[in-house]
Structure formats: C-alpha cells, structure tokens
Structure 1
Amino acid sequence: MNGSIISWLLLAIFTITIFSNAATASTSAQCLGVDQRSLLLELRNSLTFDPFMSSKLVRWDQSTDSWSGVTCKDGLVVGLDLSMESISSGINDSSSLFRLEFLQSLNLAFNDFDDTAIPSGIANLSRLAHLNLSNTGFTMHIPAELSRLTKLRTLDLSFFCNDDELVLNLERNLSSLIGDMRELRELYLDGVILYTEGSEWYNTLSSSVPKLEVLSMSYCSLYGPIDPSLMSLANMSVIQLSGNNLSSTIPRFFANFSSLKTLSLIDCSLQGEFPHEIFQVQTLQILELSTNELLQGSLPEFPENGSLKTLVLSDTHISGRLPDNIGNLRNLSRIELANCNFHGNIPSSFTNLLRLSYLDFSFNNFTGPIPSFSKSKNLTQVTLSHNSLIGPIDSTQWESLSSLLILDLGFNLLEGNIPSSLFTHPSIQELLLSDNRFSSQLKGFFYAPSHMLQKLDLSNNNIGGELPTSIWELRGLNYLLLSSNNFSGSFHINWVQQLRNLSNLDLSYNRFSIDATNTASQAFSFPNLTSLNLASCQLTTLPQFLANQSKLSSLDLSNNYIKGTIPRWIPNTIFLTLSKNNFHGFIPPSICKAINLEVLDLSHNHLNGTVPDCLMESLDVLNLRNNQLNGNIPENIPRTCNLKTLDISENLLQGQIPLSLASCTALEFVNIGDNQIDGTFPCHFTAMSRLRILVLRSNKLYGEIGCPHSHNTWQMLQIIDLSSNDFGGTLPVSLLASLEAMKANKDFNHLQYQFLDFYHDELYYEDTMSATLKDLRLELVKIWTIFTLIDFSSNKLEGPIPNTLGDLKALYALNLSHNVISGSIPPILGNLHQIESLDLSVNYLNGSIPPQLANLDFLSLLNLSNNRLVGNIPTSGQFLTFSKSSFEGNLRLCGLLLNKSCSITTKGTEEVGDNGDDDDSEKKWFYMGIPLGFVIGFLVFCGPLMFVRSWRFAYYRFWDKVLFKFSRP
C-alpha cells in the first residue's frame, strides 16, 4: 500500500497544482464586482481556520488589492483555491460559497471539516468544471445532488483515513454519481467505499464517461475480474485500482491504450502470467504491481529509449533473470523488485541508468559482484540485502554519489575489508553491512568521519581487533550495532557518552570485556538511549549508570557473569532480560513498580523464594525458567491478564495450576514443565484459543487427558508435551481431533513477540524451549510455527492408538512410549507424511508392522522396541535406514534387521507373512514336512544296513561289544 499512497500523493500534488495554476492569477480589487467581493468576505467570516496555518484566507480584506486563491474573469469569481488552509468548519448549505454561481473551479483539498457530510448545496454551482474535495474530512454519504454537476471535467473525492469508522461512501451505485457526467476527463475516488456488484462499475464507466483519461479508484472495496468493457475508454492515460480485490489475470488489452502512462494495480489479488506487451508500451511511465503474490512472469527485453520511470514489482512471483538490456530504460528513476525470487547477476548495463534515484532488490537470489552505480548521480537509496552477492566492495564507486542516503548490503556473502570511504561519505545516513563475511579490523577507518552517518550496522561479520577511538567522532549516530563479531580488548562504557544522539547500542557477543566501573555518578547518562544490548560482554557487575536512564526501553544483559541479588532499582524499561547470569535470592517486589515493563526474562539464574503475584498482572512475557523458585503458582490473577508467554519450568513449584490462569486468554506459550505440580488435566486452559505451546511434562499430574464436556478447542496448538506424569485412561480422541494446526501447515514463521519498533526496526522477544526429539533432549532456540509435536510418553495411558492421529498430516514428532497402550499399530499412521520421529516403544502393541509406514519418506527415527509385535519387518523405504535397536524386545518379530530369518521358526512360533496375516499354505507345508523328514531320516540311516552287507556285519559287532561290556559282573 505504501507504493500506492506515494503514487496517489504525487497525483494529488499534480491535481492541486492544476487547481493552483488556475487560480494563480490573483485578481485585483478592480476586477471584482462589489457583490463578488462581498460574497468572498462573507465566506471568510463564516469559516473556522487557523490563521497561523493559512496563507490565503488570512490575507483577504476589503481594502486589499490581492485575493489569494481567487481567479476572476470579467469581474466574476470563476476559480477558488482554498486547499491546505486548515479550515475546520463553516461551509453548509446556506454558505455564501454556493452563491458564487459563476465558479468553474473549486478546490478545498486537504482541510479538515470535522467529519461532517458534503453539503448538498454544492450542486448549485452548475458551471463547475473542476471540483476537488480530496482529504477534506467530509465523511458519510456522497450527496446525490453532485450528479447534477454535468459539466465536470475533473472530480476528486479521494479520501484516506486510518479510522475505519470515518469513511466517505457512495450509498447507491456508481451510475447514480457519474451517470450524466459525459464531459468527465479525470475521476479520483481513492478510499471512497463504493457499493457495487460484479462488473457494474466497469459498465458504468464505459457507458457514462467515454472521454475519461484518468481513473483513480484505489481502495474502493471493488472486486473483479477486470472487464473487457474498459477497452471502450480509448483515451485512458492513468489507471489506478490498487487495493481492490480484483482476483483476476491482467488482460492484454491494457497494452492497446495508446496513451497509457500510469498503471497501478498494487495489492489486487492478481494472478496468472503478466503480459510482456504491457512492459513494452512506449508511453508507459509508471508500472506498479507489488503485493500480488500469485502474479507470475518475467521481465522481457526492453526497447531502446523506453519511457518507463517507475517499476515496482515487489512481493510478486515475477522472477527469472534481469534482461541484460535493462539499461535501455534510460528514464528509469525508481525500481523495486524486493522479494521476487530473481536470480543471476545484476546486469552491468545498470551503469547506463543515469536518472536512477531509488533501487530495492532485497530478498532475492542475486549472485555475482555488485555492479557499478557510479554514474547514477541522483541515487538516494540502494538496498541489495538478503541476496547471495559476493566479492569485495568497490572502494570508489560510492564516492561520487553525493546524494546517497541509504546503502543496505546486509545478508550477503560479501568479504574483504570495508572501505574507509564509506565512513567518511558526505551524505550517507544509513550504512547497513550486517551478516556478511567482512574481516580485518576497523583501525583507522574513522579518520575524518562523516557527521551525516546516523545508522551503522556491522553485526554478524568477522571483524576483529579493538574498536578505534575515532568511532566516537561519529556524533550524528543514532544506531550503532556491532554484535557478533570478534572485537577484543577492553571497552569503557563511558566512551559512548560522547554520542549524544545515540538511541540504540548493541555490543553483544564479541570478545571484548565491558568496563562499566566508575559510572555511578548521577551525571553519567545517555540522554537519548532507548535500547542497550550488552549480552555476552563478560560483565561481572550490574552497571549502576542504568539507574539514570529515563528513556531506556530495552535492556539485554543476558549471558554474562553478573552475581548478587537483583537490585531494588530496576530500569523502567519495556523489555528486560537478565537471563543466564548468577543472580540469587528473592525476586524483589519493587520490580512491580516498573509500570512500563512488558517483557521480563530472569531465566537460568539461581533465584529462590516465591513468584510475586504482581508479575502475573501486567506483563506480556514472563520467563522464570531454570531457577529454584518454590511455593505455588500465583492464584490472584486478574481478569485483565495480558500474558502471551509464561515459562516457569524447571523450578520447584508445587500445588495445582490455578483456575484464575484461565483469565490469560491471550496466552500462546505455556511451559510449567519440570516442577512438582499435581492435580488433574487443566481443562480451564481450553479458554486459551490462541494457545500454540503447552508443556506440562515431569510433574505429578494424574487422571485422564482431555476435557469431554468442553466445546472449546486448541486449533492453533502445535506442541503439547505431557510426558512423565501419571496420566491414565485412553488417548483423548476429541482433543486430538481438534488440533487443526497439526493437520495442515498454514504459515511459516517462528514464535516471537514484537515489543518495540525503533526507526523501522522491529525488536522481538523469541520463545525458546527444550524438547525430546529422536531420543535427544534438544534446545529449540527458534520455535517454527510449522514444527508440531505430541509427547505423551512415560504415563499410564492404555487402550488402542486412535485412527484420529492419522489426520494430523503436519505432525513432525509423535512420542507415545513407556505407557500401557495395546492393540495394533493403525495403518492410517502412514498418512503422516511430514513425520520425522515416531516412538511407540515400551508398550503392549501387538500384530504386525503396517507396510504403510515404509512410505514415510522423512521418518528418520522409528522406535517400536519392547512391544509384542510379530511377523516380518518391512524391507523397503525408510525401514532400510533403521537400526536393530528400533525393533528389539519383540520376540516374534523377524527379518534382516534382527538377523532372524522368517523362513525358519522355533518350537511354538507361528510363521507370519509380510502382510501381517497367518499364511495357511506355509503352515500346511510345515506340518507335512514333519513326517516327510522322519521318512527321509530313517532311509538315510537304515538303508545302508539293509542293502550293504559289510555295514550290517559291522553294526552287529558294535552292539555285541556294547552288550558284552554291560553284562560283565
């Protein structure tokens, strides 16, 4: 929508200029009749306006010879321009304005008439050819009387407002407004709600305003598809329909408009292939198609000396390689291709774009080196972040760009040294080089530094050495982000005090140690500092200067060596994390006096005592994980609870889960695991419809899982871990059936809570947790919304595995091990095509292994050990990758993985076929083989005795000796 608003503002300014030009011939007193002058003075006296903001009305006077904004002809007022005069009221149906009956042009744009209706008396101005009421603050219905202005050539009722309740709308169809305006050339209705059906508005335009040249109806609640009737408007030069739900392809007939200059279709739910012919329209100057994710296509070869000035395709699927001859667009000044999946090198022909002023190629797959833009003297912003660009930065190509304000090369594969000229550039305000492979040191780089630099981001590189002291000469810095590098040496925090404008400082995760001593003085403060990150900076004490930072909103001191108790003074921040330190003792009640606090993370310390009740009242995020807190979970939780994240796991908490926690209906993340909580399954949690993570593992909970009498469901739940409790009964069929998020992946993100927005940079708190995956306890630093897990292991669950589990096709991990589950493994589990970990071990499962499990292509861990399974182990698909331990403890399983042949059975063992059913033919041959084997054995032994005489005599002599030996006394 931003691109559309910019385009609209340009059009609005252009329109106002037209009206202003019509009124620039400010008449003298001699060209105004007495009655006309009287009407103007009466109008001035009736209007309410701010004289300090007015440049025209404030100068109107009976004795003056100048009437600003007034155009007259033959002593009659024919033009009135009162735009941007801060008028708030005074125009109604009886206003003297509507007695200026010879008016041909009226401009009241950009005033604020305090949410009143457009006066119907405006229809008295029957000679009007130009009417501009854009952004006047008029709301409610457009009066039907406007349709009587049949001589209008320009009508502008555009209305943009952030308040959905304050809208301007057309109560009837579009024909009721413009049906008789056959002279209309320009129509601006942006932001006006039009109640139209289907293609009605297309037909109205084609039949009612055949001379229309400019159509601007963005964000009018229109819906498509685009109708061929528009082709009849052959004179169209501007088409702006952004922000409507057109839901259609873009017709090729747009290329037939011989005078087309502007085509803006941002955020219109467009789809299909974009026609190449439109790119090549010789008159086209502005093409805006961004935020149409289903729109596809590629860029064509461009004709020589194309007229295109603005090309905005961001957030579409228009992709491929950039044509080598893109340099033919010599008038191009703005190009935005962000998040479009373009690839390949950026063509060197960009050096021909001398008028280029704005370029954004972020979030693509561009490779190769950065081309030269040294001839584009008007460039103000270059954004190439989030690509795969390689090589060093040319130290010379940026020096000649004296208008460059923003250079964003972050998140690429750039390497080498950072040119010192970038730090001394005379105009650059934002230099963003994070997440690359830059190395070496910054020593000497800030010689004669630029005072224009406001934002410097070098985070996530390999820059080493000590910080040069000249960095503190960058007096204009607002942002200094140096995290995750190899800076070393000692850093004195009071050096930063020289940067009086600094608002965001991030020194985290380097190899230098922060010296925060001798900073307790009240005079020591950073007057504008709002965000400070000193995580992993080898701090041993809590910096005392923090007590003086009145504007500090975000403070991260995590992963240090700070010891002692949490002080009673706590910075009144929005975000505070002291996690992974050595704090001990109680959580001070004074922490509740930090009235702005939304995010509090005290995890991974040595805190003891109880959880203060007040922490459950106003916070959005509370993380007390891995301490030694005891007592009960606070019970006095107010109905105004705002918690979105609650992590009190890995403590010594006792008692039951309080019923009042159900008041926290915004909760998305709940982790109470690894405590000593008892009671039954918390059915009151079903009121938390936004719940995504529920971890209750390793407690003393008992009873059945699920809430049979509850109608609420957890449709967003993606992780549920109830392992290592005393839950019994059968697996909860109704609960499993309600897990919609595990049935289909609908979004791809990770759990995070936005708590601040600094200078267009959003700051987040990211949830973390541990989980048992593939027999390993892993720490999930980022919890992706597509990651789904069910862990009911180590309980007393019984009964069969329900077929409902087969519906959870987005399930990533399932663990039902160490229970008393019986019955067979349902073949429907073969539908879990996303599953990577399946553990059903140590149960009483019987029957055979369903061959459908062999089709689970992503399955990397399967544990069916210690059950009562029988028959063949499948020998296809993923089963070829599993080890023997996956099947041990099933005495009647056989197959190659167990080195047990299924063709030879021991006494008391039935032979089972691959399909899991008893094979009757094999049983028949088995029993027939017994007498057959006896006969063959008898013949092999007795045959030679009967038919070989020498063998028979030897046999008799042997037995004679044996009998003689045993018969002797």
Structure 2
Amino acid sequence: MPTLCLLVLMLCSAYFISCCTDHERNCLHFLAGLSQDGHGGLAASWRHGTDCCSWEGITCSSTVGKAATITDILLASKKLEGSISPSLGSLPGLQRLNLSHNSLSGGLPADIMSSGSIVILDISFNLLNGDLQDSPSSSSASGRRIQVINVSSNSFSGRFPSSSWEKMENLLVLNASNNSFTGPMPSFLICIRSSSFAVLDISYNHFSGDVPPEIGNCSSLRLLKAGHNNLSGTVPDELFNATSLEHLSFPANDLHGVLDGAAIIKLRNLVVLDLGFNIFSGNIPDSIGRLKRLEEIHLNHNSMAGELAPALGSCTNLKALNLGSNYFSGELGKVNFSKLSGLKSLHVSYNSFTGTIPESIYTCSNLNALQLSFNKFHGQLSFRIANLKSLTYLSLAENSFTNISNTLQILKSSRNLTTLLIGGNFRDEEISDDKTVDGFENLKVLAMENCPLFGNIPIWISKLKNLEMLFLFNNYLSGSIPVWVSILNSLFYLDLANNSLSGEIPAELTEMPMLRSERVTSHLDIKILELPVYTGPSPKYFTVSDFPAVMILENNNLTGVIPTEIGQLKSLLSLILGSNNLHGEISETILDLTNLEILDLSNNHLTGTIPADLNNLNFLSELNVSNNDLQGPVPTGGHLDTFPRSSFDGNPRLCGHMLDQDCDDPVIVDVPQGSSRQGGYKAIFVIAFGAFFGVGVFTNLSITPKPDKNGFKSLRDIPQTRFH
C-alpha cells in the first residue's frame, strides 16, 4: 500500500495533477469511518491509495505547478455518525466545511473554531452537544477569515461564548438557533469589529434577561431572530438604530411595552415584523403605514387594544397580517383592504371586532387564509366572497352570522376551500338537507359545531370525497347516523357528540377506509390549521401539530350494542361512546384496537365483565366504563391498575381493590326500579370526574354547555396525546 501511495504522488508531480498531501489524507481518514452508507457510500470513493482530491465531497485547489490543497469538505446528509476530529482544524487551505444533516455527536473541537482558513462552517442538524468553547487564548482572532457559522439544530448548551466570537472581524452570518443555550442574550460587541455583520439567529434557545442595547451598533444587520426564548423587559430604543433591518423577530418571549411610532419608522427597510406571543400593549401606530416594504406583520397573542390604524392600508406590499388574540375593537373596515392586493393571510380571530365583514376584503384576490373567528361580526355572508378564488382556509366561527342555507350556497363556489370552520353561528337554525349544495370538492375539514342546528345530518356531506375531519358536536341534530359516512374514504376524525341522534351505531361505520388502515395519512396544512376543541363552556380553536384518528359519538340517544366489527378500525386512537343507551357486553373485538389510547363507554347499560385483555392495549392511557351494569372483578396485574376509581364507579356489581369491594364478599345491589342511571349515578359521575379533571390527571377537559338527556352536563375529552 505505501508503494501505491508513492506511485500516485509521483504521477501527480510528473503531470502537475492536483493531489492532496499525506497530512491532509491523514486528517480525512476518520471521516470515512463515520460513514454508515456501507460499501455504496463514502467507502466506495475514499479508497486507500487514491488521491483524496478525487474523493466524494472533497474539493482541492488546482493551481498548475503547485501542490494541491483541500479547500472544501462538503458531506451534508451522508449518514455520518460519531464525533468530529480536531484534525480538520489543521487543514491549511480548508475554506468550506459542511457536515450538516448527519447524526454526529460529541462537541465541536475548539481547533476548528480557531482555524485561520475556514470561511464557511455548517454543522447544523446534528446531535452535537456540550458547551461551545471559546477559541484558545493563544490563537489570533483577528487573523480568522470565517464569515458564516451555522451551529443550529443541535443540543449545545451553557452560556454562549463571547470573547473570541466577538472579535471575528469578517463574520457575516451567525445561526445558533434551536439549541439549549442559556444565560443572557449575547451583547454583540462583535458589531464594533465586524461592520458587515448581517444575519443573527438565536431563536429557540433559553436566553433570558433584557435585549442588549448594543445590538443597535450593528448598522449592517439585516436579519435578527431571537424568538422562543425567555427574554423580558422592553425592546431598547437603541435597537431601532439598526436601520438596515429587514427581518425583526422576537416571538414567544416575555417582552412588553408599546410600539413607539417614532422609533419604528426608522426601520424603513423592514419586511417582516414578528412580535407575537409577548405582552405588548397599546395600539398600532399610524406611522407603520410609512414602512412601504412591509410584507408580514405578526402581533398576535399580545395585549394590544384599540381600533386599527387606517394606515395599515398603506402597507401595499403586505402579504400576511396576524393580529389574532388581542383586544382590538371597532370595525375591521377602518382598514381599506382594497389597497392590499397581495394579501395572502388575514388573521384577526379572538378580538372584539364588530360590524360586518368589510367589502374591501373581497378585492384581495390572492387571499388564501381568512380567520375571523371569535369576534362580534354579524349579518349574512356576502356573495362577493366568491371573488376570493385562492381561498383555501376560512374560519368564521363563534360570531353572529345568520342564514346557514345562504352561506352554504355562496361558499360552494369557493372551489379551492380545504378548511371551512363556521361553528358557533346560525343559532337555532335548521340545517338544510338541500341536495343542490354541491361544490366543496376539495374540502378536507368541515366544522359546524356549537350552533345549535336542528335537522338531520345533511346528505350533501356525502359528496365531500376528500373530507378528513367532520365536527358536528353540540347541536340538536336528530335522526340516525347515516350509513353513507362509510364512503368518505379519507375521513378519520368524526365528532358527532352532544346531539339527539338515535338508532343503532351502524355497522357500516366500521367500514371507514382510513380508520381501517394501519395509520392515518393526512394531507392537511398544519401551519395554519386551527381546530375546535372544548376547554370550557364553549369551544376554543387550537393549532395542532398532528391529528389523531377519533370517533366521538357520546351524549346522544344511540341504542343497540357496540358493533362487533368495531375491531376493524385499526388506526383509532380514541373511541368515545359514553352517555348513550347502549346495551350488551363490551365487545371482545375492541381488543383488536391496538393503537387505542382513550376508551370511554361510560353512562350506558352495558353488562357482563370487563375483558381482562384490556391490559394488553399498551397505549391505553384513559379508560372510563363508569355507570353501567358491569359485574365481576376489575382486571388486575396490568396498567388497568393505574386507572382511578372513577373509571369504574357506578357499577354496583363490580369488585376489586380500587372499589373497596372484595370479590369474595356478597354484592348487595339496591337500585330503584326503572332508574338504573337516571340522575343519581350521573350526578356521582359528574362530581367524580369534575374533581378528577380538576387536579389535572386527565388532559383537555371539556364541559359542554348543552345538558345531556338526563339533565346533566356531559364531559368531553378531545384527545391530543402523542400529537403535540
């Protein structure tokens, strides 16, 4: 092998071919050992006896007549595992080092940070951890050429190093986001040495304390992202001296204060302003209309109030306006939306806006997301909404809109709608079973909950072939559950709770294709999607990151037995059938629902024993079979032992240690004739579960405002476990 290497070097010298040196080859060898690609990966090209300048991911300089030197090591997404060797810091000509998107662990050697040749360093999206070390005191920071440092999406912790980093006079970009850095936000005296410093991203860490005023010295700073930390105090006035800023982002901190109109207009180049999820108060200053380059404004989830500044209509490049969850009031029509032709997303939910939807909104032909829920809007929907040809997401929930028949006839022409949330309106109207309602062919989510609406479940829903989630809970819908639900091939989330539905649970319901599959395949855009979830007397809308497969039929008048075919719904995570008139035994086929996390069969007339094999449902975290006619021992020896007594109460013939009823003792049952669960047991159920939920053992408590058929309020739980 040494003879072959010598031969390669002689050939390189004779024909002026660029060849790496022995030192460089030795520095690289450890990388080949980190490859997990097998013989088809790096090992295929990084062969002994070959010139390392020809190896995959390696680039050398090619000056004729001079020895070659390695300039680039570009090994992103190569399935590398193991630690980074300090030897890479001794490569004299290395300029670009990219080891991102691998599974490297351990720390970042200080020798690499002190390299005098590296210009671009990218080790993002790995498993690196520990503290980032300052460079050795003997190294000269002023001699470093480094311009870009990306250490994002790792597990680095501790205080952010400063003494040497702040002396890097050529640094342009620093991305340390998505780590676990602590302590104060770096003061960035770096800007005194590096006048061209342009990009700083330290978001998604644990920095605390005030925003340092020295940041205003960064006269060339164009992007500043420090969101999702623990920063507090006010935004210092000095920050607005960084007049080159285009992207200012501080969401999800504890910052407070007001938007100073005189200060904010200094940022004349601002394109993105994101101060959401803080404690800012006051109103939006009129001067914001002078920021002509603004494309995104995110002030959601603050404590801002007052009427909207008409000057917002002068931000003619605006694409996204998010003012949700504040205390804004007055009419939305204060802003002339006809000037905002490029607007794509308007979010003003959870405020106190009044009046009707301003007609000028319907001129925003590029609008694809319109969120107006939880305000005080009223009136009927305008036919002009059909002008919004790009609209995919519409939320009008919890306002005072009227005439549901007219609304559906208008919206059916919005052919691109994928999400329609109109619950909490059309109070006490009858839902039309109008067969002329068509369109909606792309609809994936339909929510018409909490109105309450009268009538049967309309047949036009059967035409929604792409429907994935259907929310009709908390209405006065009657009749039976239609068998055509089974032909909705994509449906995996069905909530019909708190209605007056009757008849048996149709066996056809167990033919739903998506629920019979091993896993749910959703095509929903989770970036903007908010869904109705009960958290008190009325539903709230929460953004969710993933979607469980759910069937919720509780608090109706359903009769008959639980279909034996229920075990075919393999992807179900939650099955909630409580507060009906079901009878018969707990079907053994429920044991086939191996993904089940929540099972609620409470407040029915079920008989027989609790299947012992429920202990084999490994993911089952919540079980409620209370207030039935079950008998025999509660199964022990598995995770059913961890459930509280309230899960089994109200079954006088049940026994077991958690019920203080020894199974060897005779069971005395004293139940008045004709009152199996009328009133008494339900009252116990409500009190017990109310106390249980109150101490936080169960999550996502939901108490519906509509009394159940026995005069008591139902408890609902929309499961979000394993989906955060």
Is this a same-fold pair by TM over 0.5? yes
Amino acid corresponding to residue 476 of structure 1 in structure 2:
N
Deviation at 1:678, TM superposition (A): 4.5
Deviation at 1:577, TM superposition (A): 1.6
Greater relative CO (CA pairs within 8 A, separation 6+): 2
Mapping of residues 895-914 of structure 1, within 5 Å? none
Alignment partner, residue 256 of structure 2: 319
For each residue in 1:372-419, what CA deviation from the matched residue of structure 2 results, as whole angstroms up to 9, or x when unmatched?
Answer: 333333322221111111111127622222322211111111111012
2:515 corresponds to 1:577: no
Structure 2 CA distance for aligned equivalents of residues 467 and 247 of structure 1: 56
For each residue in 1:148-168, what CA deviation from the matched residue of structure 2 results, as whole angstroms up to 9, or x when unmatched?
Answer: 42123x3232413xxxxx512
User: In the alignment, which of 500, 507, 510 is matched to residue 441 of structure 2?
Assistant: 500
Structure 2 CA distance for aligned equivalents of residues 170 and 104 of structure 1: 23
Structure 2 CA distance for aligned equivalents of residues 201 and 749 of structure 1: 49
Structure 1 CA distance for aligned equivalents of residues 684 and 470 of structure 2: 40
Deviation at 1:200, TM superposition (A): 4.8
Structure 1 CA distance for aligned equivalents of residues 379 and 645 of structure 2: 42
Alignment partner, residue 633 of structure 2: 656
Structure 1 CA distance for aligned equivalents of residues 363 and 440 of structure 2: 17
Deviation at 1:456, TM superposition (A): 0.6
Mapping of residues 612-631 of structure 1, within 5 Å? 612-618=587-593, 619-631=596-608
- TM-score (norm: length of structure 2): 0.74
User: In the alignment, which of 181, 184, 208 is matched to residue 118 of structure 2?
Assistant: 184
User: Percent identity among equivalent residues?
Assistant: 23
Structure 2 CA distance for aligned equivalents of residues 223 and 417 of structure 1: 51
Amino acid corresponding to residue 529 of structure 1 in structure 2:
L
> What secondary structure does 1:558 align onto?
coil
Structure 2 CA distance for aligned equivalents of residues 430 and 137 of structure 1: 39
2:186 corresponds to 1:238: no
Amino acid corresponding to residue 365 of structure 1 in structure 2:
S
> What secondary structure does 1:637 align onto?
helix
Amino acid corresponding to residue 273 of structure 1 in structure 2:
D
Deviation at 1:248, TM superposition (A): 1.3
Alignment partner, residue 589 of structure 1: 564
Distance 1:221 1:477, change over 3 A: closer
Deviation at 1:654, TM superposition (A): 2.1
Mapping of residues 231-270 of structure 1, within 5 Å? 231-252=166-187, 253-254=189-190, 256-257=192-193, 258-270=195-207
Structure 1 CA distance for aligned equivalents of residues 587 and 414 of structure 2: 44
For each residue in 1:426-485, what CA deviation from the matched residue of structure 2 results, as whole angstroms up to 9, or x when unmatched?
Answer: 101111111111111215343x43221101110111111244222110011101111011
User: In the alignment, which of 92, 96, 108 is matched to residue 46 of structure 2?
Assistant: 92
Structure 2 CA distance for aligned equivalents of residues 264 and 104 of structure 1: 29
Distance 1:526 1:481, change over 3 A: same
User: In the alignment, which of 647, 650, 653 is matched to residue 624 of structure 2?
Assistant: 647
For each residue in 1:916-960, what CA deviation from the matched residue of structure 2 results, as whole angstroms up to 9, or x when unmatched?
Answer: xxxxxxxxxxxxxxxxxxxxxxxxxxxxxxxxxxxxxxxxxxxxx
Alignment partner, residue 939 of structure 1: none
Deviation at 1:545, TM superposition (A): 2.1
Deviation at 1:297, TM superposition (A): 3.5
User: In the alignment, which of 152, 176, 185 is matched to residue 218 of structure 1?
Assistant: 152
Deviation at 1:359, TM superposition (A): 2.1
- TM-score (norm: length of structure 1): 0.56
Q: Is the 8 A contact 1:388 1:413 kept in 2?
A: yes
Alignment partner, residue 417 of structure 2: 477
> What secondary structure does 2:575 align onto?
strand
> What secondary structure does 2:350 align onto?
coil
> What secondary structure does 2:218 align onto?
coil
Structure 2 CA distance for aligned equivalents of residues 204 and 780 of structure 1: 67
Alignment partner, residue 389 of structure 2: 451
Distance 1:395 1:317, change over 3 A: closer
Structure 2: stretches of 5+ with no match in the other structure:
1-13, 20-39, 516-548, 665-680, 686-692, 706-711
Deviation at 1:498, TM superposition (A): 1.5
User: In the alignment, which of 155, 163, 180 is matched to residue 229 of structure 1?
Assistant: 163
Structure 1 CA distance for aligned equivalents of residues 224 and 502 of structure 2: 60
Mapping of residues 880-919 of structure 1, within 5 Å? none
Structure 1 CA distance for aligned equivalents of residues 128 and 582 of structure 2: 61
Deviation at 1:268, TM superposition (A): 2.7
> What secondary structure does 2:305 align onto?
strand
Distance 1:666 1:399, change over 3 A: farther
Q: Is the 8 A contact 2:369 2:393 kept in 1?
A: yes
Deviation at 1:502, TM superposition (A): 0.7
Structure 2 CA distance for aligned equivalents of residues 639 and 508 of structure 1: 35
Alignment partner, residue 529 of structure 2: none
Q: Which has the larger radius of gyration?
A: 1
Distance 1:339 1:305, change over 3 A: closer
Structure 2 CA distance for aligned equivalents of residues 669 and 366 of structure 1: 46
2:329 corresponds to 1:390: yes
Structure 1 CA distance for aligned equivalents of residues 650 and 81 of structure 2: 58
Structure 2 CA distance for aligned equivalents of residues 196 and 653 of structure 1: 56
> What secondary structure does 1:486 align onto?
coil
Alignment partner, residue 670 of structure 2: none
Alignment partner, residue 904 of structure 1: none
Alignment partner, residue 230 of structure 2: 293
For each residue in 1:695-750, what CA deviation from the matched residue of structure 2 results, as whole angstroms up to 9, or x when unmatched?
Answer: x6xx85799xxxxxxxxxxxxxxxxx9x999xxxxxxxxxxxxxxx99xx9xx997
Alignment partner, residue 364 of structure 1: 302
Deviation at 1:295, TM superposition (A): 4.4
Amino acid corresponding to residue 116 of structure 2 in structure 1:
R
Distance 1:657 1:305, change over 3 A: closer
Deviation at 1:592, TM superposition (A): 1.8
Structure 2 CA distance for aligned equivalents of residues 378 and 158 of structure 1: 38
Alignment partner, residue 462 of structure 1: 400
Q: Is the 8 A contact 2:219 2:241 kept in 1?
A: no
2:90 corresponds to 1:132: no
Distance 1:295 1:88, change over 3 A: farther
Deviation at 1:500, TM superposition (A): 0.8
Deviation at 1:546, TM superposition (A): 0.9
Amino acid corresponding to residue 242 of structure 1 in structure 2:
S
Structure 2 CA distance for aligned equivalents of residues 750 and 323 of structure 1: 44
User: In the alignment, which of 482, 488, 491 is matched to residue 432 of structure 2?
Assistant: 491
Q: Is the 8 A contact 2:567 2:591 kept in 1?
A: no
Deviation at 1:653, TM superposition (A): 1.9
Q: Is the 8 A contact 2:419 2:445 kept in 1?
A: yes
Aligned length: 606
Alignment partner, residue 24 of structure 2: none
Deviation at 1:507, TM superposition (A): 1.4
Deviation at 1:308, TM superposition (A): 0.8
2:110 corresponds to 1:168: no
> What secondary structure does 1:373 align onto?
helix
> What secondary structure does 1:394 align onto?
helix
Alignment partner, residue 275 of structure 2: 337
> What secondary structure does 2:297 align onto?
strand
> What secondary structure does 2:117 align onto?
coil
Structure 2 CA distance for aligned equivalents of residues 663 and 750 of structure 1: 16
For each residue in 1:132-184, what CA deviation from the matched residue of structure 2 results, as whole angstroms up to 9, or x when unmatched?
Answer: 333444443445653442123x3232413xxxxx512467x6144455x3233
Structure 1: stretches of 5+ with no match in the other structure:
1-33, 40-86, 108-123, 161-165, 683-695, 704-720, 726-740, 753-765, 771-776, 786-969
Distance 1:664 1:451, change over 3 A: farther
Structure 1 CA distance for aligned equivalents of residues 393 and 684 of structure 2: 50
Structure 2 CA distance for aligned equivalents of residues 126 and 375 of structure 1: 58
User: In the alignment, which of 295, 311, 320 is matched to residue 381 of structure 1?
Assistant: 320
Amino acid corresponding to residue 578 of structure 1 in structure 2:
L
Q: Is the 8 A contact 1:175 1:204 kept in 2?
A: no
Deviation at 1:768, TM superposition (A): 6.0
Q: Is the 8 A contact 1:579 1:602 kept in 2?
A: yes
Q: Is the 8 A contact 2:555 2:714 kept in 1?
A: no
For each residue in 1:499-540, what CA deviation from the matched residue of structure 2 results, as whole angstroms up to 9, or x when unmatched?
Answer: 1101111112225434546779xxx53221111122215232
Amino acid corresponding to residue 125 of structure 2 in structure 1:
G
Alignment partner, residue 699 of structure 2: 751
Q: Is the 8 A contact 1:284 1:308 kept in 2?
A: yes
Amino acid corresponding to residue 474 of structure 1 in structure 2:
S
User: In the alignment, which of 89, 93, 96 is matched to residue 155 of structure 1?
Assistant: 96
Q: Is the 8 A contact 2:628 2:651 kept in 1?
A: yes
